[in-house]
Structure 1
Amino acid sequence: MRVQQWCAIGFLLTTISMAGAQTATSTVMTGTWATAPVQALAKATDAGDKTIRNIVHVSLGSTDTVSVQLTNEFGIEPLTVSAATIALRQTDNTVSTPVALSFQGQASIVIPPGKFVWSDAVHLPFPAMSDVAVSLFIPTQPMTFVSQHNFANATNYMAPGNQVSALTLTDATKLMSFRYLKSVAVSSPSQGAILCFGDSITDGSRSTADTNQRWPDLLAKRLAANSPTATMAVMNVGIGGNRILHDVTGPSSLSRFDRDVLELANVKYVVLLEGINDIGHSYDQKNPYDHVSVQELIAADRLLITRAHANGLKIIGATLTPYLPTGYSSPAGEQVRAALNQWIRTGGEFDGVIDFEKATSDSAKRDAFLSTYDSGDHLHPNDAGMKSMADSIDLTLFMK
């Protein structure tokens, strides 16, 4: 486990094995929500004297304390956060009583370039499936790049000045990104966390915004309703456009696995759904680039399996969903997708398999979405398709 910087005094190091080996329910800090930040070019409006209110939909509830993980992993200047609070969201940008966050006992923190920090743990109970608001005051400062998750598929807010303690923000504008926030962890009885790792399909692209219809959200609801898995958390680190082997929209899976998996709290399982963008761009009939073979994709998956196992994690392979006829689909690419899926199903190298292709495709035509599950672009599932994906998952995979 590679830890860059800890600021959570309330985290006992004996209980924060980020990739621990505990199997029974225990009370440790467990990630209840996460996102995968990328580098975004800062705009003039990002330079500071702003309050950012990130609204996150947690999976596991808090029975006692909560801590947040802030990020400047893609900044090239230090990032000053002068004040921060956490609260339950009531509606829109209105929250219940904000609780002040501190960092090694201080109200403000300077995060070095390329680093992240944890806040001190504070008392804030809330139920599972809550909306929680993390408000950050960013003073005026040099800023070339912003560390953010570009596609939140949820509405966040930015407002002038320091309004972190305001119940309702004044003169707020909407943001569709998660900014400077990497994860939220809670101290609750927990069986650990499932980390959903992938591209835009995991990120929830083309599912209905502000309704939490991503397949990881729906999986979290199923787990919570199932007594043997009721204290299992789910985190989502999908990135739209992400690939296994090449950096394009964010770092590749291989290069971001440590940062986006191993540095989160109490992860026990990884669900890997990645590779369709590698295939699509490689075999695009109009503009192919960054060629990859099925052998290279399998080799990359094997590296991720090895890395997960070396850190005590179980990793579950998910078959790639259909992609015909999309803008970058091709018969040659479909052959690679089918071959990769066959290896995922039968190779015996993952700790389990989820057949998302079967869950979303036409039984008579596995290379295309069932029309009722197609968002319209033939690449991303709609809300019904997301539900079919979540419903297809055998929950006993997370009971072993």
Structure 2
Amino acid sequence: MSRVRTTAALLAALLLATASPAAARPADDGWAGTWGTAPAPAAPDGISRTGFADRTVRMTAHTSVGGSEVRLRLSNAYGTSPLVLGRVTVGLAESSGSAAAVPGTLRAVTFGGAAGTRVAAGAQTVSDPLPYDVPAGADLLVSVYLPEPTGPATWHWLAQQTAHVSEPGDHTGAALPAAFTRAETSWFFLTGVDVRGAGARGTVVALGDSQTDGSGSTLDGNGRWTDAFARRLAADPATRGTGVLNKGIGGNRVLRDGTETERPQRGTRALGRLDRDVLDQSGVCAAVLYEGINDLQLAPFASAEEVLTGLRTLAGRLRERGVTVVVGTLTPFKDSPFWTADAEARRAAVNAVLRTAPEFDAVADFDAAVRDPADPARVRGEFDSGDHIHLNDAGYRALAGAVPVPALTDCALQGRNR
């Protein structure tokens, strides 16, 4: 059997193996995503494994687009028992990374009219709409009281954002930070914030790995490439009001689940989470696919053709649903611990195809934006976070500048005309 046919058979088997019943998708009705993250299973140890009981978790969600109504998405996708949400509030943070709320901004969020709800293992919930003035580019505080033992938490481990865990009790209504005595750098259970209003015009979702997650960016600095890209869209009248959701997961792959490794927190493979993390989001009209480097650099190693076939499969499923697809070339990583000449050759082969592949609507040449002209296998020194693969804030701004905005103008118009 040829290598191509073998690859196709492998991917078909992967898709069947990861297929799951579609989650209940809330009607868009003018909603757009202003913030999002991708859920993943608990790590083998630590706070995600032990979970919470009689604690309030306060998390920051940095908005990309504003609105006059808000609703929250909370997930128990990887829980082993029902998740009890005692009370949930939303407010505005006094400053980035702070547990202090601007006085008078905290509001209770309800679920079917009730203060809390119960979420079955493997399920998610979406709150009732709440009239609330959500500014673009603001830090929302989402506080979740967990009255009963949660068991292993559905979480997002690489937040690059400080979360706060309280002493025992319900502190969701506390504007002052005194009760929040433990700091974490992960999000727990919270996976999305939607807004609705005259300015919301649709949603772009970034599906990727740690480069999209923002590894190497400034803690609490909102320095991920998606943050810079949201600011770029907001500055352009043609795309202003378009939300940006970050669905990157550190260590994620196109072809292999994190549970197949020693780090389940790397999440479900891109092929298996596309529906949940992209298609089931509110107002989605475009997606940026920037993934594949972990398939090339982490054992068992994928071939360039396997990665390309996976990306083409993702693009095909998105385009069938009318979603514009921008694909990102894979950025350099020479001098990182995982670099080999063979992996570099496979990266170059993937990029050569992506730059002209007809299966994608546009290409963001991230590689060209950050590579060292003197040695294209390396990241430019001024963009290197220090580990020779992840970028710093300036590097992520360079990625944001490489996304072809004209390809997303129709996306914004689709959102406006919904």
TM-score (norm. length: structure 2): 0.87
CA distance in 2, matches of 1:227, 1:356: 24
**CA shift at 1:138, angstroms?**
0.2
Deviations 1:122-173 (CA, angstroms, capped at 9, x unpaired): 01112210000111100122x3310010011011111021010111233311
CA distance in 2, matches of 1:171, 1:107: 21
2:415 is aligned to: none
Q: Alignment partner of 1:321: what SS?
A: coil
Q: Alignment partner of 1:305: what SS?
A: helix
CA distance in 2, matches of 1:89, 1:240: 26
1:390 is aligned to: 400
Q: Which amino acid aligns with 2:363?
A: V
1:284 is aligned to: none
- Indicate how the Cα distance of structure 1 residues 2 and 316 shifts in structure 2: closer, same or farther if over 3 A, else same: farther
CA distance in 1, matches of 2:301, 2:229: 33
Structure 1 position 276 matched with structure 2 position 293 = yes
1:36 is aligned to: 38
Deviations 1:244-280 (CA, angstroms, capped at 9, x unpaired): 1111211111111111111211111110110111111
Deviations 1:294-313 (CA, angstroms, capped at 9, x unpaired): 11111111110111012221
Q: Alignment partner of 1:124: what SS?
A: strand
CA distance in 2, matches of 1:157, 1:5: 30
Q: Which amino acid aligns with 2:23?
A: Q
1:369 is aligned to: 379
**CA shift at 1:350, angstroms?**
0.5
CA distance in 2, matches of 1:72, 1:269: 26
CA distance in 1, matches of 2:344, 2:231: 33
Deviations 1:176-223 (CA, angstroms, capped at 9, x unpaired): 101110100000233211101111011000111111010000000011
Selected match of 1:81 from 60, 63, 85: 85
Q: Which amino acid aligns with 1:47?
A: F
CA distance in 2, matches of 1:102, 1:383: 37
CA distance in 2, matches of 1:81, 1:310: 36
**CA shift at 1:111, angstroms?**
0.2
Q: Alignment partner of 1:114: what SS?
A: coil
Is this contact kept in 2: 1:2–1:263, CA < 8 A? Answer: no
Q: CA RMSD in A?
A: 1.6
Q: Which amino acid aligns with 1:137?
A: Y
Structure 1 position 156 matched with structure 2 position 156 = no
**CA shift at 1:379, angstroms?**
0.4
CA distance in 1, matches of 2:233, 2:347: 29
TM-score (norm. length: structure 1): 0.90
CA distance in 2, matches of 1:56, 1:397: 27
2:53 is aligned to: 48
- Indicate how the Cα distance of structure 1 residues 2 and 124 shifts in structure 2: closer, same or farther if over 3 A, else same: farther
Q: Alignment partner of 1:220: what SS?
A: helix
Q: Alignment partner of 1:162: what SS?
A: coil
Unaligned runs of 5+ in 2: 1-19, 259-265, 411-418
Paired residues in the alignment total 374
Is this contact kept in 1: 2:324–2:408, CA < 8 A? Answer: no
**CA shift at 1:2, angstroms?**
6.8
